[in-house]
A and B are shown apart, each in its own frame.
Chain A
Amino acid sequence: MSTIFGIPTQALFGQLLIGLINGSFYAMLSLGLSVIFGLLNIINFAHGAQYMMGAFAAYFLLQWAGLGYWWALLVAPLAVGVIGVVLERTMLKRLYALDHLYGLLLTFGLALVIQGLFRNQFGSSGLPYQIPSGLTGGRNLGFMVLPNYRAWVVIFSLATCLITWYVIERTKLGAYLRAATENPGLVQAFGVNVPRMITLTYGFGVALAALAGVLAAPIYQVNPLMGADLIIVVFAVVVIGGMGSILGSIVTGFTLGIVEGLTKVFYPEASNTVIFVIMALVLLVRPAGLFGREK
């Protein structure tokens, strides 16, 4: 058994791969958060709950409509995105004139309500969701068996992240969005319906969270509290990457997943805290995050 730095290669690569998979979720979730913060200046504490709703949507689609995973990938984000739009129109809108912290508190309250309602109904130990039949089984890589589904997760998240980044940074629509955040009045004067853009952007960010939820359902089981502890980590990722920087979130998400995996090999007790330690360090040196710009 070969070793690198005294750790057996098998263990090292195995954990790195697991780390990459975790990193995919971090990246997708922080992407949604970043889009929402970057373009709307809202800290969406309900992001974890919306991720959970995406997983539940997939579960319901299967139970009640017999629609499987592939349908869920499409329908669940749309459904949850619509809910997000409704939330924005009815509640978040009223807070734009106030201190940003109120947005944080409102979404925190929303998260409590959503998670509480689901927990009441479904308990907190998780409902089963099967891996879709096209993606079962695994590939023996020599140092470990890589389940096909988990490989799919990595590829799909990477694709989603890149497409989102491209749309926002390189297309006209994205340019309008970015301009609208910087100077909404001016952009509105050009005839662009800024409030509608803001609403749709929030819906899009929420849909991203729900999409991550569908991806997570077969791995992490569908559980009302699945987003609760994840959201704190995702916050850290967003802050490290730079709040509002799309590229920053993507890169940081994947990187931190890998760092966490490495820590599990060399120093498992610290694997939970390493992301927060890095966040504290980054904030001391670059308060706006690695890729961020101070607002």
Chain B
Amino acid sequence: MDTASEAAPATATEPLSAVGRHQTTAFFLMIGLLAMAPFFIYPLFLMKALCFALFACAFNLLIGYVGLLSFGHAAFLGSAGYTSAYAAKAWGWPPELAILAGTAIAAALGLAIGALAIRSKGIYFANITLALAQMVYFFCVQAKFTGGEDGIQSVPRGVFLGLFDLRNIMTMYFVVLAIFIAGFLLLYRTIHSPFGQVLKAIREHEPRAVSLGYSAERYKLVAFVLSATLSGLAGGTKAIVFQLASLTDVHWTMSGEVVLMTLLGGLGTVFGPVVGAFIVISLENYLAQLGAWVTVVQGIIFIICVLTFRRGVVGEIARLIRKPL
């Protein structure tokens, strides 16, 4: 999709050294706010937003920097969630191993789905990811270990790395924050590396990149698997935070939600998905008493974003300050 190049007049995939202080400032501002937030705002809500922020950032790698719209990312979030939940509850694994197990499953699933889907482009890619994610959904409905409609409940939080008791909500929060930062930095590094440069070249003009000797398919596949893996990290963490894995996380409407978050925040921007995730989760929380108004508002945001606000919140800010964000 071409918005990424609209959004970032200076290329958003320049090498790290050239990026400049504004992004570093923005990063420390974000960390600062997030570190102070749990003392003022309900930490469970913040953790939910952090997990989704990581999910959206992972998704953004694919749409913003490779130009592929995947409509099946819920498969990675949800399957990792189920795996982590099951590992923690049925096998009694400590949380760090449970989350890693979830992440690994998401990576494997990413490889499988990516290998099948990567040959298609555009609408066809969106369609095939949607269909394959549906298969994952129905697998989760049928499989015994997922508990069907009831989900996997009462997942123990445990003790992280043998040191941090996750039943304490503040401890849990800072562990989740650390996981988020790790994932965020990994994505950031990827984008601002030679690998990221090639991805951008492929997005801008694939045949030319191929003619230069780059195997476009292999690069796209690696990006896809990375995106799936970090989505899995978000999903596994979420399962431990909420002590529950359910069908909602593998349903296709979840795939739509992450698109919404990224679109609203700003496709192809670094901080956009984080902002988008926080906005959407806050809206859901605030409107929760009003039932179905949540979907209506989400739909309206989608429509407005597509028609007139394609750069998203962070994209518009970036345009104002004339620097990539």
A108 at the interface (CB under 8 A from B): yes
Chain B residues contacting A113 (CB-CB under 8 Å) are: 295-296, 299-300, 303
CB closest chain-A residue, reference B256: A108
Are B119's CB and A287's CB within 8 A? Answer: yes
Which residues 265-313 of B have a CB within 8 angstroms of A? 291-303, 305-307, 310
Contact, CB under 8 Å: A108 / B124:
no
Q: Is A86 an interface residue (CB 8 A)?
A: no
B306 A280 Cβ-Cβ under 8 A: no
Which of B69, B130, B296 meets A116, CB within 8 Å? Answer: B296
B127 lies within 8 A of chain A by Cβ = yes
A280 touches B299 (CB 8 A): no
| A23 to B134 Cα, complex, angstroms | 19
Within 8 A of B (CB), among A107-131: 108-117, 119-120
Expressed in whole angstroms, the Cα–Cα distance for A239 and B124 within the complex equals 8
In contact, B300 and A273 (Cβ under 8 angstroms): no
A56 an interface residue at 8 Å Cβ cutoff?
no
CA distance A112 to B69 in the complex (A): 19
> Digit string of A239-254 for contact with B (CB within 8 Å is 1, else 0)?
1000100000000000
Known: A99-B1, A101-B1, A120-B296. A112 touches B130 (CB 8 A): no
In the assembled complex, the Cα of A105 lies from the Cα of B300 at a distance in Å of 11
Contact of A102 with B306 in the complex, beta carbons under 8 Å: yes
Q: Which residue of chain B lies nearest to A122 when distances are taken between CB atoms in the complex?
A: B292
Closest to A106 in B: B306
A213-242 Cβ-contact flags toward B at 8 Å (1 or 0)? 000000000000000100010011001000
**Size of the chain B interface, CB-CB below 8 angstroms:** 43
Question: Which of B124, B252, B293 lies in contact with A283, CB distance below 8 A?
Answer: B124
Q: Does B135 contact A (CB under 8 A)?
A: yes
CB distance from B196 to the nearest CB of A (A): 21
Measured CA separation A172–B297 after assembly (Å): 43
A236 CA to B291 CA, complexed, in Å: 30
Q: Which residues of A contact B139 (CB under 8 A)?
A: 273
Cα separation A69 to B300 with both chains bound (whole Å): 33
Interface status of A17 (Cβ within 8 A of chain B): no
Q: Known contacts A105-B259, A287-B124; is A116 also within 8 Å of B303 by CB?
A: no
Contact of A283 with B120 at beta-carbon distance under 8 Å, contacts A106-B306, A112-B296 already known: yes
Contact A239 B131 (CB under 8 A): yes
For residue B138, CB closer than 8 A to chain A, the reply is yes
Smallest CB separation, A274 vs chain B (Å) = 10
Q: Which of B69, B141, B300, B301 contacts A272 (CB 8 A)?
A: B141
Complex CA distance for A118 and B146, rounded to whole angstroms = 31
In the complex, the answer to whether B123 meets A43 with C-beta atoms within 8 Å is yes
Question: Is A116 touching B295 in the complex (CB atoms < 8 A)?
Answer: yes
Contact A105 B134 (CB under 8 A): no
Whether A277 contacts B123 by the Cβ 8 Å rule is no
The A interface, classified by DSSP as helix, strand, loop or mixed, is: helix
Closest to A113 in B: B299
Q: Of residues B122, B253, B296, which shows the largest number of chain A Cβ atoms within 10 Å of its Cβ?
A: B296
- Are the CB atoms of B292 and A119 closer together than 8 Å? yes
Asked whether A283 lies within 8 Å of B128 as measured between CB atoms, the reply is yes
**A120 x B292 contact (CB < 8 A):** yes
A100:B123 contact, CB within 8 angstroms: yes
Are A287 and B303 in touch, CB under 8 angstroms?
A: no
Question: Is A279 an interface residue, CB under 8 A from the partner?
Answer: yes
Bound CA–CA A43/B135 (angstroms): 21
Q: Is the pair A280, B123 in contact by a Cβ cutoff of 8 Å? A: no
* Interface band, chain A: 35 or more
- Given contact pairs A108-B256, A109-B300, A116 touches B135 in the complex (Cβ within 8 A): no
Q: How far is the CB of B263 from chain A (nearest CB, A)?
A: 7
Name the residue among A116, A117, A287 with the largest chain B CB count within 10 angstroms. Answer: A116
List of A residues within 8 angstroms of B1 by Cβ: 99, 101-102
Please, which residues of chain A bring their CB within 8 A of the CB of B256? 108, 112
Taking CB as reference atom, which chain B residue is nearest A91? B307
Chain B residue contacts of A228, Cβ below 8 A:
253
If the complex has contacts A110-B303, A273-B139, A287-B120, are A116 and B132 also in contact, measured as CB distance less than 8 A?
Answer: no
Q: How far does the Cβ of B92 sit from chain A's closest Cβ, in whole Å? A: 29
Residues of B contacting A279 with CB < 8 Å? Answer: 128, 131
Closest to B300 in A: A113
Distance, CA A120 to CA B295, complexed state (A): 10
Taking the closest CB of chain B, its distance from the CB of A278, in whole angstroms, is 10
Q: Mark B181-209, 1 if CB is under 8 A from A, else 0.
A: 00000000000000000000000000000
**In this complex, what residue of B is CB-closest to A111?**
B299
In chain B between 1 and 57, which residues have their CB closer than 8 angstroms to a CB of chain A? 1-2
Q: B116 at interface (Cβ–Cβ under 8 A)?
A: yes
Given A104-B123, A105-B263, A276-B131, does the pair A112, B306 have CB atoms closer than 8 Å?
A: no
Q: Which residues of chain B come closer than 8 Å to A189, judged between CB atoms?
A: none
In the complex, A162 has a CB within 8 A of chain B: no
Q: Taking CB as reference atom, which chain A residue is nearest B134? A: A276
Assess the A116–B294 pair: CB atoms within 8 A: yes
Question: In the complex, what distance in Å separates the CA atom of A273 from the CA atom of B142?
Answer: 10
Q: A110-B299, A112-B296 are in contact. List 13 more A-B contacts (CB 8 A).
A: A43-B123, A99-B2, A106-B306, A106-B307, A108-B256, A109-B305, A109-B306, A111-B299, A112-B299, A119-B291, A232-B252, A272-B141, A279-B131
- 5 pairs across A/B with beta carbons < 8 Å? A105-B263, A109-B299, A109-B301, A232-B134, A287-B120
- Chain B interface (Cβ < 8 Å from any Cβ of A): 1-2, 69, 116, 119-120, 122-124, 126-128, 130-132, 134-135, 138-139, 141-142, 252-253, 256, 259, 263, 291-303, 305-307, 310
